[in-house]
Amino acid sequence: MTISSSLNASVAGLNVNASRLAAISDNIANAGTYGYKRAQTEFSSLVVASGNGKYSAGGVTSTTTRAISAEGSIVSTENSLDMAVVGRGMLPVTPIDEIDAASPELRLKPTDSFTPDQNGVLISSSGFALLGWPLDQNEEPITQLRDSVTGLEPVSVAASRFVANATTFMDFGINLSAEDTRAGASGDPLSVPIEYFDNFGASETLTATFTPTVPASGASNEWTLTLDDSATAAGLNPIAEFTLTFDDTRGLGGALLDVTVVSGASYDAASGLASINLEGGPMDIQLGPYGANSSLTQLSAEFAPSSITKNGNRAGILTSIEVDADGYLVGIYDTGLSRKLFQIPVVDVPNPDGLAVKDGQTFTVTPQSGAFYLWDSGSGPAGILTGYALEGSTTDIAAELTSLIETQRAYSSNAKVVQTVDEMLQETTNIKR
């Protein structure tokens, strides 16, 4: 009987509008939730075969999905570990109870705010740990599989709270006065104390002493270089000695002509590097290759040790952590040193709207979403990972309130149909009277 189908269709209309109301309610409730993706309910009609001039109402069904591919607005914050992806892709995270798992569960999260816990692991208040690739001593990823969680680890800064880099290289950008090797010069030695850092980040001093060879007549263009190390016992200094000879020909005047190792070192004429052994290990010193007016020079100008450079840093304490545009987590130390600690990839799937929705604005991969891929920040289709930012909710309050009015009226109309069918059935019952 078609009147019964009308009742069933109206009840179905009540149900789908109740579902739509639930989605609207969820959206409005999460209008201020960072990373929230709005729910949307779509209706589909149902058709029942009709014939002989009769029509039966099929009713309606609903499907509620998430508009996961929609992007919320980026909101600037004052926390360097507030992270968002500007563009396509999400952050890789795992529930905190998966931190110690050999292969932690991968969740995708549009945005989150992280802080180090008591163990140095970056976690969020919603209960998720950030995942990333650890780096080697050259600040390169140790393992970087793009389609697997293998190699991803919960990001921890515990091992990076203190850091020291030993000095392994110096460049002697020093000019020696040519006048000091001429007959009649005083022959006084010239000393340059140079600070360096040992394997523990402690400050030590390497003293370079240049003693000119003063001839009876003319100019010798020759110097003796000795190196004394403050970390070496006094009786063992100098640790190295060289004889330096400079060119005085036209076009090459002032350039190194010859370096003779007297003791405690080796020298490569092609590269200009001298290798010495300190108490804590080897160090390379750039004296300059033959014929080059770089590093050590001998010109008529004053003695000028003005361009000495070196690597290494004293022991420093981690003061802040930031994210750069390439997706690297960078530690900033009180010594001014900055060091890459982890690389955070951007996770992307072919169909973001096919992801499964989980608690805490997180998502998991499904057959409908397609397999995930781990991109470097800003590469391929992936957006740029940024700090000091959070992604806002995709809820549009004005649109939701409009939908709320439409849903209320549709629900009331379906209820009116139910009331009408009830009255018609009552009339049918009254026929028997």
Domain range spanning residue 339?
A: 76-157+324-391
CATH code at position 228: 2.60.98.20
Is residue 125 situated within a structural domain?
yes
Co-location of 329 and 256 in the same domain: no
Mean pLDDT, range 25-32, rounded to an integer: 95
Co-location of 290 and 216 in the same domain: yes
311, 344, 379 - which closes a domain: 311
Q: What is the pLDDT of residues 154-167, one digit of tens each?
A: 999 988 888 888 89
Determine the pLDDT at residue 254: 87
For 198, phi then psi, to 5°, come to: -85, -170
CA distances 267 to 237, 240, 264, 286, Å, are 19, 11, 10, 9
Co-location of 271 and 203 in the same domain: yes
Is residue 226 situated within a structural domain?
yes
Q: What is the pLDDT of residues 227-283, one digit of tens each?
A: 999 999 888 999 999 999 999 888 788 899 999 999 999 999 999 999 999 988 899
Contact (Cβ atoms closer than 8 angstroms) between residue 128 and residue 108? no
Is residue 246 situated within a structural domain?
yes
Q: What is the pLDDT of residues 90-113, one digit of tens each?
A: 999 999 999 988 888 999 999 999
The mean-pLDDT minimum among 201-205, 291-295, 352-356 falls in 291-295
Q: Is the pTM of this model over 0.85?
A: no
Q: Which residue would you say has higher pLDDT here, 210 or 312?
A: 210
Using the structure block, give the residue that is written with the tokens 């900033």.
Answer: 332
Co-location of 101 and 196 in the same domain: no
Co-location of 352 and 285 in the same domain: no
Co-location of 62 and 127 in the same domain: no
How far apart, in whole angstroms, are the C-alpha atoms of residue 113 and residue 323? 12
Co-location of 307 and 173 in the same domain: yes
Mean pLDDT, range 180-201, rounded to an integer: 93
Asked if residue 1 has pLDDT above 60, the reply is no
Q: Is 52 left (phi over 0), alpha (psi -120 to 50) or beta?
A: left
Co-location of 194 and 275 in the same domain: yes
The mean-pLDDT minimum among 51-55, 82-86, 128-132, 406-410 falls in 51-55
Contact (Cβ atoms closer than 8 angstroms) between residue 13 and residue 410? yes
Our separate counts of H helices and E strands in the chain read 2, 32
Contact (Cβ atoms closer than 8 angstroms) between residue 411 and residue 405? no
Instruction: Kindly state the helix (H) or strand (E) to which residue 416 belongs, with its residue range.
Output: helix 397-430
Is residue 162 situated within a structural domain?
no
How far apart, in whole angstroms, are the C-alpha atoms of residue 212 and residue 217? 14
Closest CA to 108 of 127, 130, 87: 130
User: Residues 6 or more apart from 52 whose CB is under 8 A from it?
Assistant: none
Using the structure block, give the residue that is written with the tokens 């060289």.
Answer: 242
Is residue 349 situated within a structural domain?
yes
Q: In the structure, what pLDDT confidence band is assigned to residue 53 with cuts at 50, 70 and 90? A: low
Q: In the structure, what pLDDT confidence band is assigned to residue 433 with cuts at 50, 70 and 90? A: low
Asked if residue 321 has pLDDT above 80, the reply is yes
Is residue 149 situated within a structural domain?
yes
Tally of CB atoms within 10 A around 227: 23
Co-location of 119 and 221 in the same domain: no
Determine the pLDDT at residue 337: 84
Determine the pLDDT at residue 353: 96
Mean pLDDT, range 372-388, rounded to an integer: 96
Q: In the structure, what pLDDT confidence band is assigned to residue 427 with cuts at 50, 70 and 90? A: confident
- Which structure tokens are listed for 57? 């109402």
Mean pLDDT, range 112-129, rounded to an integer: 94
User: Residues 6 or more apart from 171 whose CB is under 8 A from it?
Assistant: 285, 286, 295, 307, 308, 309, 310
% of the chain surpassing 70 pLDDT: 98
Is residue 319 situated within a structural domain?
no
Mean pLDDT, range 353-366, rounded to an integer: 96
Determine the pLDDT at residue 300: 83
The mean-pLDDT minimum among 176-185, 301-310, 398-407 falls in 301-310
Q: In the structure, what pLDDT confidence band is assigned to residue 87 with cuts at 50, 70 and 90? A: very high
Co-location of 219 and 283 in the same domain: yes
Co-location of 262 and 175 in the same domain: yes
Mean pLDDT, range 118-144, rounded to an integer: 91
Is residue 205 situated within a structural domain?
yes
Co-location of 175 and 289 in the same domain: yes
Q: In the structure, what pLDDT confidence band is assigned to residue 54 with cuts at 50, 70 and 90? A: confident
Average pLDDT, the chain: 91
276, 311, 346 - which closes a domain: 311
Q: How many domains is the chain built from?
A: 3
Determine the pLDDT at residue 200: 87
263, 287, 311 - which closes a domain: 311
